[in-house]
Structure 1
Amino acid sequence: MCGIAGIVAAPGRPAPSTELGRRMIDVIRHRGPDDHGLHCDEQAVLGMRRLSIVDVAGGHQPAYAAEGQVCLVFNGEIYNFRELRRGFEKQGARFDTRGEAEVILHAYLRHGADAIAMLDGMFAIAIRDQRSNELLLARDRFGEKPLYYAHGPWGLLFGSELKSLLQSPDCPREIDPAALSAYLAYGYVPCPLSIFAGVGKLPPAHLLRFREGRIELRRYWRPSLAVRTPLDEDAAGERLAWLLDRAVSSRLVSDVPFGAFLSGGLDSSTVVALMTRHLSQPVKTFSIGFREAAFNELADARRVARHLGTEHHELVVEPDAVELLERLVWHFDEPFADSSAVPTFLVSQLARRHVKMALTGDGGDELFGGYDRYRRLLAMERLGPLRGPAGVAMRIAGAALPDPLGGRLQRIGERLRLPFRQRYLSGVALMRADTAAALNARAGGHGHYDLPAIDDPGADLGAGDSALDRAVAMDLQSYLPDDILVKLDRMAMANSLEGRSPFLEPELATFALSLPERLRVSGADTKVLLRRVASRWLPPQAVDKPKQGFAVPLAEWFRGPLRPLVADTLASRAFRERGLCDPAAAQALLDDHLAGRANRDQALWQVTCLELWARRFLDTTAQEEVPCCCA
């Protein structure tokens, strides 16, 4: 696990400075405090920071091949590198290290860019080939590891985090209006956008080739929703159990201590149960809770830990919400408002006291149909031609009833009359379109939130007419890589901890997507086949536990520890003059929340995160992390 960064000058431009390369990797030291390295030639600088997990002694980067003419830096883990290495050795290859970098380089020398599709892992890779004077960038299939880039007449910048690119005076710094609109709706900036126009994120499963001053993007893999497994339910269960076990065991490759996050829910509990089958010592598990009972899952996690015999570590936290929020803003680089980042950071902080790597249950909801919004969407779709009349009736009824029921009926009525893509995305959005439009100062209070930044890739992935598959396709394209996996990567890396997600093993993921709808979502039941299989290893309470999410008590915080911060923020001259959010609309949200007229916690969190981000990245330079004082 590492962080990478670099710059390649365009033809005829001066060579990048070594000092710039050092700044680009020093600012992401948290991603790799164990080691660092820098490659310099007449046209490029490539750098890395290393968190040593595999081949601790011999895994230094940059790595070289072809008599030093090919250089590689990469972030992540390649889980099948040993199998690839054995295959190459049978063909006569010789290796000097026990790590992954040399295997990737050897695959590249034999297969060129096609080597990337051979890799099972989470990765962001940069290969500088001086023989052809080009740079190849690659990102893993699901977007577990981040990779930003910016291209201009001066050349190409790239890095694991946006703050690396911002060390260069050439990096664009103009806010992208489409990115701002998307953030106000969803709480994150969807790929391929970044908050700055002119800076992009390399999409998952894509390659970028930079040569002669030009870039070329190509997709090397795509999930398929067109193929259905021919197996009956019993055979599918056996196949799933085998794939789950193999995926977890493949993610246990490590030369350092490791453990797992454990919420007590189905996904993380399944991962831990399978870990126990492959380890001779108890699995180290980690859970975080809050004093507010509605947000505390420690009892559920404790029950699973006892059942599986893990070495369990837990902590009830009362974080300094203000200082913690400022630290999180620095690590995310872009405005990011998924509040579950708070417990993710805290459980990563707890785990890092004991281990350097932890397995997680991320990806299970998208692949096996775990979100409640999938159930709600399918219920809407069953209305068919009646959606229009039902929508009108609900809006009329909602207008006649008091909140919160009236408002909820009106929102459902509005969704029913929308085209499919907007109907689904409106259920994903954190903020109502009218609220987001009123807040968006750059749209003059009349923003339009039919977000083209998140397309419907259903046809491209073979989803057909299936509403579930089309929704899953959109989540695989945006919500999973741009929210869920961003949160895991940044919060784990903020603590110099590696997080691994077994559910995203390619063959397991492909099989999950091939399951018929009834084995994923059926009536009120979600993750149907996964629950059935997991019941072999888990207590009934864990298998049947409703999805709770990794939530925090935002509503209470905005009436308590966060109240002074948000009040001072909205009253500040900088906020009023910045022109990102409409001050009157923001103040109305706070007034409603404090008066108890409506719960505006999520919208207030988004506004607060946006303004703190602007202070950190627009008003100052991103040079070093803000200290944090957390329990």
Structure 2
Amino acid sequence: MCGIIGYLAQPGASAPGRQVGERMNQAIFHRGPDEGGLHVEDRVLLGMRRLAIIDLAGGSQPMHSADGQVTLVFNGEIYNFRALRAELIARGHRFQNDSDSAVILHAYLEWGEAAIARLNGMFAFAIWDRRNEQLLLARDRLGKKPLFVWQGREGVGFASELKSLLELPGFDREVDQCAFPGYFAFGYVPSPRSIFRSVHKLPAGHFALIRGGQYREQRYWQLDFTPSFSGSIESAKEQLSRLLDTAVSDRLVADVPFGAFLSGGLDSSVVVALMQRHLRQPVKTFSIGFREARYSELSDARRVAEHIGTEHHELVVEPDATELVDKLVWHLDEPFADSSALPTYLVSELAGRQVKMILSGDGGDEAFAGYDRYLKFLQLQRLGLLRAPLGLALRAAGRLIPGIRGFRLGRVGERLAMSFEDRYLSGVGLSRAAELSALLGYAVGNPYRDLHPLFARSAGWPALDRIVDVDIHSYLLDDILVKLDRMSMAASIEGRAPLLDYRVVEFAVRLPQNLRVHAGRGKHLLREVARQWLPGDVLDKPKQGFAIPLVEWFRAELGAMAADIFASRAFRERGWVVPAEAERLLTAHRGGGENHAETLWQVLCLEIWARRYIDRRP
């Protein structure tokens, strides 16, 4: 696990010098505190920071081919590198070290861009091929590793984190205010857009070729939802058990101490149970909780740890949110308002005191349809031809019935009248058009439009497949994986997610719906498979999620911090949100009668981001 940076100048232009590369590297020092390296030539600057996990002595980067004509910088891990290495040796390749980085370099020398589809892992890498003056950028299938791309007037820059690009001469910090509706609707800036107008994210499952001053992107992998399984549930359980076991065992290859995050929920518990099957010593597991009981899963995690026999570490935290928010905003790169990033950082920090690599349970809810919102949406879809008249009736009832019940009836009525896309997105979105218009000070139109293109390819698919596909390409990509990558890297540890092995995901999304959703619950097959490893009370407990006491904090010290910021001259002059509306929401929330915690967190994170990234240099 590392961080990479680089720049390719247009033909006839020159790349920035070594000092710029050093500053770009320094900005992501936390991603790789073990070692750093740079490669500089006329048109090219490549750099990396290394967190040494495999072949501690021999995996230094940038890595060069034997003739010095091809150079690689790589962030991530390749889990099938040993099999690829054996195949390449059989084809006559000679390796100077045992790292997975060397396998990528030799695979490119053998197969060119076609090598990317042979890699099983999480990765973002750049290969400079001096033989044909070509730069290749690539990102893994599901986007576990980030890669930002800046297309300037005189060249193309790239980096694992946005903050490195700010060090490039001529970098344009113009904020893309068209990203604000998407940010407030979903809590993140949807891909491929970034918060800066001149930067985009290389899409997951894509590579880019830059040659002769031309930039071209190409998809090399697409998730296929075509139903392919027709056997018995016992056969499905056997296949999934084998896939899960392989995915976990593949991710136990490391030359450093490792452990796992354990929440006590189904997904992380399955991962830990499978880890323990492959190890002689107890797995080190890590959990955190808050003093507020409804936000803490420590008792659940403890019960699983005792059942499996792990070496369990837990911590009850009383974090100073006013102190942590600035640190989180810095590491998250863009405005990002999923408040569960805070406990993810704290548990990463706890784990980082003992290990350098952890496994997590991320990805199970998307692949196996585990979110409650999927079930609620399917209920809406079942109304079929009744949707239009029922929607009218519910909207009318919402106007007549006071309180929260009337509000909820009205919201259901609104959703029933919407298109398929907005019917789903309005249920997962954080803001409605009217609320967002009042906050931003202009008519935003449809706040969910940034995700509409994701539905284009799935017209005619079953409803469940359509919304899972969108979540994999948006919520998973731009929220869950960003949170895992940035927060683990902030603590200088590597996070691996076995449930997001692409073979597991491909198998899961092609299952019949009744093996994913059954008897009003998601993750049916995964739950049935897990019964061989875990007790029933773990498998059947309600889903809780990784939440923080945000509502309470905004009525205490976080509310005071927000009040100071909203009253500041910088906030008022920035003009991104309407100060009076932000203050109104805060006053109503602190009064205890209304809950605006999520919106307040979004506004707060956006303003602190602006102060960090716009008002002063990092």
TM-score norm. by structure 2 comes to 0.98
Pick aligned residue for 2:600 from 593, 597, 604: 604
Residues 220-619 of structure 1 aligned to structure 2 (within 5 Å): 220-441=220-441, 444=442, 446-458=443-455, 460=457, 464-619=460-615
Whether the 8 Å CA contact 1:399–1:410 is kept in 2: the answer is yes
- 1:122 Cα shift? 0.4
SS in 2 for 1:217: strand
- Alpha-carbon separation, structure 2, partners of 1:416 and 1:348: 41
- 1:524 Cα shift? 1.7
Are residue 100 (structure 1) and residue 97 (structure 2) matched? no
- 105 and 204 in structure 1: CA distance in 2 versus 1, 3 angstrom threshold: same
- 1:178 Cα shift? 2.3
In angstroms, what is the RMSD of aligned CA positions? 1.2
- Alpha-carbon separation, structure 1, partners of 2:166 and 2:137: 19
- 1:228 Cα shift? 2.6
Whether the 8 Å CA contact 1:247–1:502 is kept in 2: the answer is yes
SS in 1 for 2:385: helix
SS in 1 for 2:557: coil
Q: Which residue of 2 aligns with 1:628?
A: none
Letter in 2 for 1:506: Y
Greater CA deviation, 198-207 or 223-232? Answer: 223-232
SS in 2 for 1:492: helix
Pick aligned residue for 2:617 from 608, 618, 621: 621
Are residue 142 (structure 1) and residue 142 (structure 2) matched? yes
Whether the 8 Å CA contact 1:23–1:167 is kept in 2: the answer is yes
Whether the 8 Å CA contact 1:184–1:606 is kept in 2: the answer is yes
Whether the 8 Å CA contact 1:134–1:209 is kept in 2: the answer is yes
SS in 1 for 2:451: coil
Whether the 8 Å CA contact 1:375–1:523 is kept in 2: the answer is no
- 1:523 Cα shift? 4.3
TM-score norm. by structure 1 comes to 0.96
Letter in 2 for 1:266: L
- Alpha-carbon separation, structure 2, partners of 1:591 and 1:397: 29
Q: Which residue of 2 aligns with 1:20?
A: 20
Whether the 8 Å CA contact 1:458–1:469 is kept in 2: the answer is no
- 1:453 Cα shift? 2.2
Letter in 1 for 2:423: R
SS in 2 for 1:358: strand
- 558 and 450 in structure 1: CA distance in 2 versus 1, 3 angstrom threshold: closer
- Alpha-carbon separation, structure 2, partners of 1:497 and 1:227: 37
Letter in 2 for 1:453: D
- Alpha-carbon separation, structure 2, partners of 1:553 and 1:395: 32
Unmatched segments (≥5 aa) in structure 2? none
SS in 2 for 1:4: strand
Q: Which residue of 2 aligns with 1:627?
A: none
- Alpha-carbon separation, structure 1, partners of 2:609 and 2:331: 10
Q: 1:494-546 CA deviation, whole Å, 9 max, x = no partner?
A: 00010000011121111001111111113421111110110110011110121
- 1:172 Cα shift? 2.2
Q: 1:329-381 CA deviation, whole Å, 9 max, x = no partner?
A: 00011100000001100000000011000000111000000100000110000
Q: Which residue of 2 aligns with 1:629?
A: none
Whether the 8 Å CA contact 1:422–1:450 is kept in 2: the answer is no
- Alpha-carbon separation, structure 1, partners of 2:537 and 2:286: 19
Q: Which residue of 1 aligns with 2:89?
A: 89
Letter in 2 for 1:8: L
Whether the 8 Å CA contact 1:10–1:155 is kept in 2: the answer is yes
Aligned residues: 618
- Alpha-carbon separation, structure 2, partners of 1:231 and 1:464: 24
- Alpha-carbon separation, structure 1, partners of 2:466 and 2:511: 14
Q: 1:376-416 CA deviation, whole Å, 9 max, x = no partner?
A: 11000000111111211211112222232222222221111
Whether the 8 Å CA contact 1:437–1:449 is kept in 2: the answer is no
Greater CA deviation, 352-361 or 397-406? Answer: 397-406
Q: Which residue of 1 aligns with 2:124?
A: 124
- Alpha-carbon separation, structure 1, partners of 2:360 and 2:60: 27
SS in 2 for 1:377: helix
Whether the 8 Å CA contact 2:421–2:455 is kept in 1: the answer is no
- Alpha-carbon separation, structure 1, partners of 2:377 and 2:15: 54
Whether the 8 Å CA contact 2:359–2:495 is kept in 1: the answer is yes
Q: 1:543-576 CA deviation, whole Å, 9 max, x = no partner?
A: 0121111000001000112021111111111111
- 1:596 Cα shift? 2.2
Greater CA deviation, 427-436 or 51-60? Answer: 427-436
- 1:229 Cα shift? 1.0
SS in 1 for 2:450: coil
Q: 1:297-322 CA deviation, whole Å, 9 max, x = no partner?
A: 00000000000000000000001111
- 1:153 Cα shift? 2.1
- 1:458 Cα shift? 4.9
Greater CA deviation, 404-413 or 345-354? Answer: 404-413
Whether the 8 Å CA contact 1:31–1:496 is kept in 2: the answer is yes
Unmatched segments (≥5 aa) in structure 1? 623-631
Q: 1:572-602 CA deviation, whole Å, 9 max, x = no partner?
A: 1111110111112111211221122311111
